[in-house]
Amino acid sequence: MSKDIFVFIEFKDGSIRKTSFELLSKGKELAEKLSSGLYAVMLGFDTKGLTEEIKPFADKIISVDEEALKEYRWDTYTDTMEYLIKKYSPYLVLGASTITGKDLFPRLAARLDAPIVSDAVGIEVSDGEIKIKKPIYGGKIISWVTTQNAPISIITFRPNSFSIEKRQINGEIIEERIEINMDSRVNAVKIDKGGSKKVDLQEADFIVCGGRGMKGPENFKVLEEIAEILGGRVGASRAVVDSKWRDYEDQIGKSGKTVSPKLYIGCGVSGALHHTMGMDTSKVIVAVNKDPNALIFQYADYGIVDDLFNILPALKEGLKSLKQEA
Amino acid sequence: MNILVFIKQVADTEARILIKGDNRSLEIENKYNLNFFDEFAVEEAIRLKGKVKDSKISVCTYGGKKAVEALRTAIAMGVDQAYLIDNTDLDTDDPLITAKILAGFAKKEGFDLILCGRQAIDDENGNIGAMVAELLKIPHVTAITKLEVADDKKIIVESDIEGGKETKEVQLPALLTTQKGINEPRVPLITGVMKAMKANIPVVDPASLGLSRELLSRDASKIKILSYETPKGRPAVKMIEGETPEEKVKKLIKLLREEAKVL
């Protein structure tokens, strides 16, 4: 039986998302262990240029380039994925637990009567058995799960779960032409992509997060500046979003987004459990708070006890000169 | 309009959770709540009932006997009827089994609209909504932040998409999952709580919903938990000292470059 691996590719604002390269990197490693092939699966419209970008990373690239797939819809995407999965019979389908992934994959799993493990952060193969690592209860517990009684399994991963490995595979492109029908029960009437909002919060390598200690929305400017120097994003705690200083889409924590950047800098964030649940898988955590007893220091690698409004301008200048040196 | 709401009782964020000696099961402190995202679904159903004449709201959960508490919370908020689909000895780690049971219940009960939270905060899966919709062959919309009724056959919803929002017209029957921001869930009034205490909550046998016991059993599960572990703790925090903010920042940047290697 085939042990081939499908990776569902996502793109945004005309480029392949970072999380897709992460999945391709991990997917290739798994495919080598399973002596199988890695397929990048690309659904969209007018995606020729993007397909080229994927070639170094996959053994084969299945491209379905149809106008009906221009915008993501559960109906057209589920139908197309179902068709491809039935045709190629992969063993694993890997995707990202992005907004698209969370919408598509459960529906696809139900369609195929296949097991799904969502929002995982790791995967291993030993003796042909897959072991999937998934945090539950807000990261308080790590579960290791596997799938059984099924020829195909679907797994979605949090962005930033894997590192990107440069490869030179030069995969073969397979163009599939499929007749696609839109479900007439659903009609998009307005799509607002909100301008190009820089880096996606969940995909960002660097996050500068403001808490109640920031004192007001006007003080987030310096966080924006620091985030821009780092090429990252500003995040916010629940208190900040509830006070309407920042939009909900910036919220990190139990009721917001779960992030695992390379570097998280918490500024005036107290470290309440509902917040740390959303960021404690960050690789490196820095906390700046004037209260030496703030809970956030229990989660941090590095801490500074001082007034934010002294530290942040100094941090901005320090990072700026670092960047100029480089 | 016949509105059905799926809810889940989940461990409170603050509840202590311990791994038992076998590393395969958990001991959860007795602190449970109605799932955070499901509160928005209950609230939206109640608001909808206020807008659409002759509406009825039923809420149901697939859970243990204890889950009645979460159903009573929903009644106290204002839903009309609650059902417990009793999963004693049948609790599953496979969301598809839960989805099949809920879809079976929906078919039996009848509905125009199904609402549920975008995800449960315990297993953090977020699979049930779209799965049930697929099993019922109806449209679904994930993470909605606005809901309006166009006519008795059509609704207009706004939902999160990558980097923005999308507005869609959706024909009923449909399933929607609720996102924070759609409303402010009410705190039940004392009269609601009294009503909820007295409410009769029928217990439904999952095997009566068109699925055999074999299909519901642990052996049928396609998901298997291998083990649980506690996350690796971080080493103790390094507090950075210095005379001036500039000095502290300088030390921090040096550590981030040379020790943590993230800059």
Residue B48 shares a structural domain with residue B141: yes
Number of domains in chain A: 2
Both tokens of residue A212? 């109640």
Average pLDDT estimate for A132-143 = 95
With CB atoms and an 8 Å threshold, state whether A145 touches B226. yes
pLDDT-derived band of residue A14, with 50, 70 and 90 as boundaries? confident
Mean pLDDT over each residue of chain A, to the nearest integer = 95
Average pLDDT estimate for A184-192 = 93
Q: Does B252 touch chain A (CB under 8 A)?
A: yes
Which site among B155, B166, B238 would you substitute to test the A interface, given the most A Cβ atoms closer than 10 Å to its Cβ?
Answer: B166
Which site among A102, A237, A252, A312 would you substitute to test the B interface, given the most B Cβ atoms closer than 10 Å to its Cβ?
Answer: A102
Domain presence at residue A194: no
Residue A212 shares a structural domain with residue A277: yes
Domain presence at residue A142: yes
CA distance linking residue A175 with residue A325, whole number of Å: 46
Which site among A113, A143, A233, A308 would you substitute to test the B interface, given the most B Cβ atoms closer than 10 Å to its Cβ?
Answer: A143
Both tokens of residue A179? 């007749």
CA distance linking residue A222 with residue A210, whole number of Å: 10
pLDDT value of residue A126: 86
Q: Count residue pairs from A and B with Cβ separation < 8 A.
A: 254
The backbone torsions φ and ψ at residue A129, rounded to the nearest 5 degrees and listed phi first, read -100, 140
Q: Does A256 touch chain B (CB under 8 A)?
A: yes
Residue numbers of chain B with a pLDDT score lower than 50: none
E strand or H helix that includes residue A230: helix A220-230
Residues of B in contact with A192 (CB under 8 A): 164-167
Average pLDDT estimate for A100-117 = 98
Domain presence at residue B184: yes
Distance from CA of B212 to the nearest CA of A (A): 16
pLDDT digits (tens, 9 = 90+) for A235-253: 999 999 999 999 998 999 9
With CB atoms and an 8 Å threshold, state whether B224 touches A148. yes
Quick one: CA dihedral A92, A97, A103, A106, positive or negative? positive
Other beta carbons within 10 Å of B15: 16
Give the domain CATH number at A317: 3.40.50.1220
Residue A152 shares a structural domain with residue A14: yes
Domain presence at residue B228: no
Give the domain CATH number at A67: 3.40.50.620
Q: Does B127 touch chain A (CB under 8 A)?
A: yes
Average pLDDT estimate for A173-193 = 94
Domain presence at residue A296: yes
For A:164-223, CB contacts with B below 8 A are 183-194, 196-197, 200
Residue B121 shares a structural domain with residue B188: yes
Domain presence at residue B225: no
pLDDT value of residue A192: 86
Higher pLDDT, B214 or A133: A133
Quick one: CA dihedral B162, B166, B171, B174, positive or negative? positive
The backbone torsions φ and ψ at residue B59, rounded to the nearest 5 degrees and listed phi first, read -125, 145
Residue A13 shares a structural domain with residue A151: yes
Give the domain CATH number at B174: 3.40.50.620
Which residues form the domain of B147?
2-220
Other beta carbons within 10 Å of B13: 20
DSSP B160-210: EETTEEEEEEEESSEEEEE-TTS--PPPPPHHHHHHHHH----EE-GGGSS
Residue B238 shares a structural domain with residue B210: no
Q: Is the peptide bond before B139 cis (omega within 30 degrees of 0)?
A: no
- Answer for the pair A285, A308: CB distance below 8 angstroms, yes or no: no
In angstroms and rounded to an integer, the radius of gyration of the C-alpha atoms of chain A is 21
Does the interface predicted TM-score (ipTM) exceed 0.85? yes
pLDDT value of residue A196: 55
Which site among B92, B140, B244, B262 would you substitute to test the A interface, given the most A Cβ atoms closer than 10 Å to its Cβ?
Answer: B262
Residue B170 shares a structural domain with residue B79: yes
For B:140-169, CB contacts with A below 8 A are 140-143, 156, 160-169
pLDDT value of residue A61: 98
pLDDT digits (tens, 9 = 90+) for A249-305: 899 998 899 999 999 999 999 999 999 999 999 999 999 999 999 999 999 999 999
Residue A156 shares a structural domain with residue A10: yes
Domain presence at residue A149: yes
Domain presence at residue A35: yes
The backbone torsions φ and ψ at residue A97, rounded to the nearest 5 degrees and listed phi first, read -90, 60
Domain presence at residue A15: yes
CA distance linking residue A59 with residue A154, whole number of Å: 20
Q: Of A79-83, A189-193, A284-288, B41-45, where does mean pLDDT reach its minimum?
A: A189-193
Residue B212 shares a structural domain with residue B248: no
Residue B169 shares a structural domain with residue B243: no
Q: Does B221 touch chain A (CB under 8 A)?
A: yes
- Alpha-carbon torsion, ordered A229, A101, A5, A200, to 10 deg: 0
Higher pLDDT, B217 or A15: A15
Distance from CA of B254 to the nearest CA of A (A): 10
pLDDT digits (tens, 9 = 90+) for B45-103: 999 999 999 999 999 999 999 999 999 999 999 999 999 999 998 889 999 999 999 99
Q: Does A127 touch chain B (CB under 8 A)?
A: no
Residue B192 shares a structural domain with residue B259: no
Which residues form the domain of A128?
5-175
Residue B52 shares a structural domain with residue B138: yes
Number of domains in chain B: 2
Average pLDDT estimate for A308-313 = 96
With CB atoms and an 8 Å threshold, state whether B231 touches A273. no
